Structure 1
Amino acid sequence: MLTLIMLSGCGAKEDTATTTQEEYTPIEVAAVKKDTIYNSTMITGKVSGKTDVAIIPKIAGKVAEVSVKVGQEVKAGQTIAILDKVDLQNRVEQAKASMNTAAVGIEQSKSAVASASVGMEQAQVALQQAQDGIKSIQASYNLAKANYDANYEKIQNAKLNLERSKALYEQGIISKAEYEQAQLAASDNTIKVLEAQLAQAEESLNQSNNGVNQAKVAVRQAQAGYEQANTGVKQAQSGYEQAKVAYDQALRALNDAVITSPVDGVVYAVNVEKGEIASSAQPIATITSVDKVYVKVDVTEKLVTKLQKGNNINLEISSISDKKIPGIITLINPVANLQNNLYTIEIEVDNKDHQIKPGMFAKAQFNTDNKKDVMVINSEAVTVNNKKQIVYVEQNGKAVEKEVETGLDNGEYVEIKKGITLNEKVIVKGQDLVENGDKVKVVGGAK
């Protein structure tokens, strides 16, 4: 307890002065307030790139140029290395020439189709003409046949009549003139003329039929030629497509000779040098994406049960800034590490400005057991007296002892469940020096 003695005097007298004495304990106080309280655990981890991308060449070839170095930042699409292009360019030119030749073949095949189509149309016209011509010839043949048949029957009847006429002539019943007329009617000369006419008509009909048959053959040949020409077009198109595939492959190979980064990031490793042979057996380089980075920390089983994927976590990276850096839990390993029995937590952090570098150390602050809108005071304000938790509040210049019931205590602040009220002034410094009813004076904190 501090005792202050104040002296006062008057005039030049050297008499004993009147004395005034006051005793009190200087204290600091803090008002009881409502706030959010939580336990906080700080764990150190190491920053790593979010994604490691192995840059593997799509084709094998001799390295003509390496454009990056380890530690260099690169953008998506930036050139990493270039392979020798001489042979690849030659392949492109050869494939292009083959494709052009195949294109000419298509045009020639199309011309053949057009010619075959004209030939087929001409053959069909000729067939139609032959078919139209045979109709009149068939009619002439039919007429000759009918005339022959009709006259043949008459001659046969005339021959029968000649026998009767001969007997009548010999009997003197008819005259010689009538008998001769009967002989003339039964003569074979007439039938021969008719046979000749019928034979000629038949010959003409046969020739017309042959002409129609030949025209049909010509049509079939023209159709076959047309189909063959169409097949030639398909074959030429197939040849062109194959040539184009070869050209596209050669062109892709030429483009693939320029090897670029698929992501923004930092070059983690370069595995080839100029003049070496690159292949798919080994990555040319490894790029670590740093648009997002992650911090891995190991936590105890007591803490891991209080964490969930998606929880927001504040990080401190002293080499970057004193400010809190927000992160989010993206992975909680459900299985403990066999060596240390700790659980690995992954915290993802946005890093679009690339200030955070892989390899840096970060402190992760895990806030658990959150309680909102509760009465809190400084933890140091609570003392123990006869197994009771008490605090001292300042009332009218005196220290008043009050028993309290506490809740969550994070070492800095403690939750007060009952015993004091909001805005009371709790002694936070000097509380160990006072007893109930002692005079006090507020020299710091809330007044």
Structure 2
Amino acid sequence: MINDSSRKRKFKYRSMGVIALLTAAAVLASACSAPGAKGAATVQLAPRTIKTEDIKKQKISNPIEQVADVAAGTTLDVVAKANGEVTEVLKNRGEYVQKGDVLFVLDNKDALSNKRKSELSLRSAQESLQQAKDNKVNNRKDLADNVTRSQTALTNAQQDYNKTRNDYDAGLVVQHQVDQVKQALDNAQMNLDAARSKLSAFDNSDSISSILTQAESATLALDDANRSLENYEIKAPSSGILTDFNVVVGQSVNAAAGKVGQVQQIDPIKIKTELSETNYQLVKGKQELVYYNPDQPDKKGTAKISYLAPIMSAATKTYTLELEVANADHKLQPGTRFMVQLTTETEEKVVAIPTLSVIREESDTFVFVKQGDQYSKRKVKLGRINGEYQEVLEGVKDGENLVVTGQNTLKDGQKVDAAASAAPSATPEAKK
């Protein structure tokens, strides 16, 4: 019973204390709010001072980069143009070869035999051709000599005829003798005409054309045999790294089977990547880009853009980019990965403003710029953010005087002096 009485008295005293405290607070509040009441305290907040600073270019981010693959400048297939058994292998897979180097050799016994036969055929044709030429010269000489002899005979017959006619006029010979001499003259003329016709016909004929054709055919056959023999030595189609090459001695190679290896050209070498629409716009119009090995970020190089796809791939929805890099020391190898900088350090220095200077009104953004004796409200288009600064794409430019604090108290076109007088300093004071 005693404990219950004690608990009731403690609860009663606590309740009375709380009520007294609430009553005192209510009286104090009434006193402070009453007009003219003594001891009332007033607090007035001062507007922020208007401050400006010149807009400057800031580094908004590091250069935009993209992973790219190192690939061979050109890849050419190694193909056999002849069938046969491999007798010798001179180069190995992964080895650097020069254009024209013999990679492996096929058994060429049959090709050598065909070449020998072609050489013999050509020699026989050439001998026949020479003999035909000699015969032609000799035959023409005989025909020409016959014309000369006929000409001489005609001259002599003409002289005999003239003398006989003179003798006939002098009564020394009879008509019968004149007729005989005249007949001899006519025969001499016909012999000359016949000789000349034979010579002309010989000159207009081509007695060696068929033999000449045979000789030319034999020459072509020998050329074919030599080229065929060359096909038994399979050579590198270009300079580069020999890959996909697994030929061994004793292996049978068939020309119809296709490639037996590849040569990847690595000087120059290519750096290739696929660009999104956004990154394509960053590269479009440029002539060269910076690249580097991610394992050696301090060693950067510049490469010429050898190809930039003008249209997007329908399959990948990307644009192909290729850089051409000189690689005389062969340090760059196909299959490795490099980084390509799509933008430069200079490009990443952009017009930027403090984020706190921006006024947001619904979906629009504005800033105030001090122009002469007034403040101008500008609508701006913002871009990337880096710390306390944000990129400005449109609206203001480098060197303009930007309001960085107090902009929320300004109106478009407000005079500088008016803005300054509208922002007096004030301090809280207690009136007693």
> What TM-score comes out, normalization by structure 2 length?
0.63
The amino acid of 1:350's aligned partner reads A
CA contact 2:86–2:105 (8 Å) conserved in 1:
yes
Is 1:241 equivalent to 2:223 in the alignment? no
Match of 2:113 in 1: 90
Structure-1 separation of matches of 2:68 and 2:89: 34
* Alignment of structure 1 residues 8-407 onto 2, 5 Å: 40-143=63-166, 146=169, 197-225=174-202, 231-270=206-245, 272-273=247-248, 274-279=250-255, 282-308=258-284, 310-318=286-294, 322-338=298-314, 341-367=317-343, 370-371=346-347, 384=356
Q: Is the 8 A contact 2:282 2:343 kept in 1?
A: no
Verify the 8 A CA contact 2:56 2:399 in the aligned structure 1: no
Q: Return the structure number with greater strand share.
A: 1
Contact residue 291 and residue 354 of structure 1 kept, 8 A:
yes
How many residue pairs end up in the alignment?
Answer: 322
Deviation at 1:52, TM superposition (A): 1.0
Inter-partner Cα distance in structure 1 for 2:274 and 2:231: 43
- The letter of the residue matching 1:342 is T
Note the alpha carbon deviations across 1:23-42, whole angstroms, 9 max, x for none. xxxxxxxxx99898776212
Inter-partner Cα distance in structure 2 for 1:210 and 1:320: 108
Distance 1:243-1:38 versus aligned 2 partners, 3 A rule:
farther
Q: Is the 8 A contact 2:290 2:341 kept in 1?
A: yes
**Paired residue type of 2:233:** V
Where do 5+ consecutive residues of structure 2 fail to align? 1-54, 361-379, 392-397, 403-432
Deviation per CA, 1:383-409: give whole Å up to 9, x if none: 748969xxxxxxxxxxxxxxxx99986
Q: 1:227 to 1:321 in 2, by over 3 A?
A: farther
Letter in 1 for 2:187: N
Post-superposition offset of 1:50: 1.5
CA-CA distance at 1:80 after TM superposition:
2.0
CA contact (8 A) 2:62 2:348 kept: no
Matched-pair contact (CA < 8 Å) for 1:109–1:233? yes
* Consecutive unaligned residues in structure 1, runs of 5 or more: 1-31, 149-192, 389-404, 421-447
Over 3 Å counting, the alpha-carbon distance change for 1:349 and 1:141 in structure 2 is same
